[in-house]
């Protein structure tokens, strides 16, 4: 379970087991408060990754000596 321990400036401090970690505040519903439990689902963004890969490949190809 991901439980909101507190808010600090732009961050939400989540408790996961006895570990805490930060999530940007804008990812969390604005009505969320301390003690609320978040359901978190994570999915891959294949298009974004492909674009980044192509961008960096083009930059690197200019910089590596042939």
Partner 1 sequence: MSTVMASLKRIAVLILALLLLAGCIVIEYETPPPRADGGIEQFDSRSRESNPGLENGSAELKVHFLDVGQGDSILIQFPDGRNMLVDAGGNDDAATVVNYLKKTGVERVDYLVGTHPHEDHIGSMDTVINEFQIGEVIMPEVTSTTRTFRDVLEAIDRKGLRIRPARAGMIILEEGQLVARVLSPGGEGYDKLNDYSAVIRLTCGKVSFLLTGDAEALAEREILASGAAIKADVLKVGHHGSNTSTTAAFLKAVGPKYAVISVGVGNDYGHPHRAVLDRLKKQGVEILRTDKQGTVLFTTDGNVLSYTTEKQLTPGKNGT
Q: Which residues of 21-59 are buried (b: 16+ CB within 10 A; e: fewer)?
A: eeeeeeebeeeeeeeeebeeeeeeeeeeeeeeeeeeeee
- Our CB check for partner 1 shows the closer of 22 and 53 to be 22
Is 2 a binding residue for partner 1 by CB under 8 A? The answer is: no
Is 51 a binding residue for partner 1 by CB under 8 A? The answer is: no
Is 62 a binding residue for partner 1 by CB under 8 A? The answer is: no
What are the residues binding partner 1 (CB under 8 A)?
3, 5-6, 8-9, 11, 13, 15, 17-20, 22, 33-37
């Amino acid at each position: 379970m991901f439980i909101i321990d507190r808010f600090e400036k732009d961050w939400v401090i989540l408790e996961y087991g006895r570990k805490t970690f930060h999530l940007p505040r804008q990812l969390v519903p604005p009505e969320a408060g301390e003690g609320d439990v978040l359901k978190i689902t994570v999915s891959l963004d294949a298009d974004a990754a492909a674009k980044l890969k192509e961008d960096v490949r083009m930059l690197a190809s200019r910089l590596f000596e042939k």
